[in-house]
Amino acid sequence: MTGKPRPDLNDAAAAPYWEAAARHELMLPRCDGCGLVFFPPREHCPGCWNGDLSWQPMSGGGKVWTFTEVHVAFYDDTWAEDVPYVVAVIELDEGPRLLANIVEPDMDRLSIGDRVEVVFEDRSEGVSLPMFRAIK
Amino acid sequence: MSVLDGIAIVGVAETAIGKLPGRSAISLQAEAGVAAVAAAGLAKDDIDGVFSFSGYSQAMMLHAARVAEHLGLRPELAVVTDVGGPGTHHAALLNVAAAIDAGMCTAALCTYGENGISIRRSGRGRAPGTLTGGEDFEAPYGQIAMISGYALFAQRHMHLHGTTSEQLGAVAVTSRYHASLNDNAHKREPITLADHQASPMISSPLRRLDCSLISDAGGAFVVTSVERARSLGVPYARVLGYGAATTHHVPSQAPDLHELGGPLAATRAFERSGMTAADVDAVYIHDACTFSVVAGVEALGLCGEGEGGPYAESGALALGSKCPVNLHGGMLSHGHAGGVFHLLDAVRQLQGTAGQRQVDGAEVVVAHGNGGVFSTFSTMVLGRGG
């Protein structure tokens, strides 16, 4: 049993994202009007406010835009067994940026600009989170 | 002409700062409020507007109405602003100015403050991580603290511009030096660069001494019309120019460093004031971490883009330089209870009441910085009143 924060799988705009993640697929919304691929999911395109969207599979590739190694379990012991852990902003090859953990990081080598690929971490029931691993 | 031209900040006050067991955020704000009204040369019955923010340690609804009730006031307006960081207090000034212009208020009390230390011990606090907005796409990854969000940007600045941990350390050392000149600062013991480098890593590249404090403290200021201020016979500060910018909420959705809102807010404020960075006698930058100061001096144009690290290392931040930064000690050393103390000390500089840390003859002082994680920026150019 984990006490880590859980995303709201029932949020109407984001549910397809989490359903895809449960299948270990990374899918993002794409605007049918202007073609923008964006994150986080929402009911309108943030570029042009068009409400017609489609779900598009991502390649799963990207690069490290920035990162931090967190050494402290903030507030309580929720993350005590995880520290140190790496929080990174990943720029997907398709353009959008999202935040995730780098799994099995090599801290002597991890650098901004490193190529990464998506992997999935299955948490408690029904929740799978996209994570990223450096491509050696 | 702007409604901001018509207002004067006439009184400022702050409570003791540090660990204050048994004190609610509202009680700290009320204590500061009573003192600020007295400092303005006004009395309870003169106050007909309340502007406030609960802070995040004890976030609550209708906070300004609660402050008014606590102080036994029945104002026409009791308004909360929550822009984040200094923007919260700057937006209150805009609201007060509009209220005075509309005839809805003649003298406003603006109160801020938190009990970030004591609320946790009481078990009634709400972890700031639940308020940061990344509950679905960031918190599940352990991005739950503001400081690790700041660390993401400090890391990128280091990568793009070669900024070093030692340069961030220079910010921490200078802040503590300034706090040593301030009797009311939370942390006054001087520190060295070696202390900074030896302090434990919190969220790389930020060490403990790169992080702002958490404090129990309240601060307040009183605003009235320039005309009324003149009749009170107290020194006051005026708004010369106000600018702001909003680009995102959570860190992953931020634009790149050069597109953050800091330079935009600063440029807007300077243009509206008719001033430039060269005219400024001191600046107060919302220092959630040391890197915030590096980003701030760049945004204000005190140095070039990417040159904030060497600028900090050069000694340019300290009292005695052309444009010292955070003379009260900042949130790194004076105290962090929402960030109002930068504005209060900026006003003191213009009132000539800053004691050992006074910049002689200060005429123009700027308060600047961000809320969220570089999400909202606000710049307030203040001038000495008549």
Residue B50 lies in a domain: yes
Total Cβ atoms within 10 A of residue A124: 10
- What local confidence, expressed as pLDDT, does residue B127 receive? 59
- Nearest chain A residue to B250, by CA: A99
- Are B252 and A98 an interchain contact pair (Cβ–Cβ within 8 Å)? yes
Specify which residues A117 forms β-bridges with.
A61, A133
Q: Which residues of B touch A101 (CB under 8 A)?
A: 141-142
Q: What residue type is assigned to position A107 of the chain?
A: M
Q: State the DSSP H helix or E strand holding residue B173, giving kind and residue range, or none if neither.
A: helix B165-180
Q: What residue type is assigned to position B341 of the chain?
A: F
Longest dimension (CA), chain A: 46
- Are B204 and A69 an interchain contact pair (Cβ–Cβ within 8 Å)? yes
Domain extent for B58: 3-124+214-232
pLDDT digits (tens, 9 = 90+) for B95-129: 999 999 999 999 999 999 999 888 876 666 655 55
- What local confidence, expressed as pLDDT, does residue A62 receive? 98
Mention every residue, 6+ apart, whose C-beta is less than 8 A from residue B193: B166, B169, B170, B173
- What local confidence, expressed as pLDDT, does residue B14 receive? 98
Q: Which residue has the higher pLDDT, B268 or A1?
A: B268
- Are B142 and A14 an interchain contact pair (Cβ–Cβ within 8 Å)? no
Mutate to test the interface with B, among A6, A91, A99, A128 (most CBs of B within 10 A): A99
| Distance from C-alpha of B277 to C-alpha of B269, rounded to nearest angstrom | 11
- What local confidence, expressed as pLDDT, does residue A1 receive? 39
Residue B203 lies in a domain: no
User: Does pLDDT of A2 surpass 60?
Assistant: no
Task: Compute φ and ψ for B21, nearest 5 degrees.
Answer: -60, 140
pLDDT digits (tens, 9 = 90+) for B274-318: 999 999 999 999 999 999 999 999 999 999 999 999 999 999 999
Q: What residue type is assigned to position B232 of the chain?
A: L
Specify which residues B8 forms β-bridges with.
B224, B238
pTM recorded for the entire structure: 0.97
Residue B326 lies in a domain: no
Q: Please identify every stretch of chain B with a pLDDT value under 70, giving residue numbers as ranges.
A: 121-130
Total Cβ atoms within 10 A of residue B141: 24
Domain range annotation of chain A: 15-134
- Considering CB atoms only, which of A7, A39, A87 is closest to B143? A87
Residues of B near A (CB-CB distance < 8 A)? 127-129, 134-145, 148, 151-153, 155-156, 159, 200-206, 250-253
- What local confidence, expressed as pLDDT, does residue B1 receive? 83
| Distance from C-alpha of A125 to C-alpha of A103, rounded to nearest angstrom | 21
| Distance from C-alpha of B342 to C-alpha of B323, rounded to nearest angstrom | 15
Q: Which residues of A touch B141 (CB under 8 A)?
A: 87, 99-101, 129
Residues of A near B (CB-CB distance < 8 A)? 4-8, 11, 14, 39-40, 65-72, 74-76, 79, 82, 85, 87, 89, 97-101, 111-113, 123, 127, 129
User: Does pLDDT of A136 surpass 90?
Assistant: no
Q: What is the DSSP letter of B226?
A: H
SS3 category, B184:
coil
The CATH number given to whatever domain includes residue B84 is 3.40.47.10
For chain B, the domain total comes to 1
Q: How distant, in Å, are the alpha carbons of B107, B241, B347, B380 from that of B275?
A: 28, 9, 17, 12
User: Does pLDDT of A55 surpass 80?
Assistant: yes
Beta carbons of A66 and B155 less than 8 angstroms apart:
yes
| Distance from C-alpha of B374 to C-alpha of B369, rounded to nearest angstrom | 8
ipTM, interface predicted TM-score of the complex: 0.97
- Are A74 and B129 an interchain contact pair (Cβ–Cβ within 8 Å)? yes
- What local confidence, expressed as pLDDT, does residue B121 receive? 67
| Distance from C-alpha of B148 to C-alpha of B143, rounded to nearest angstrom | 7
- Considering CB atoms only, which of A8, A97, A101 is closest to B142? A101
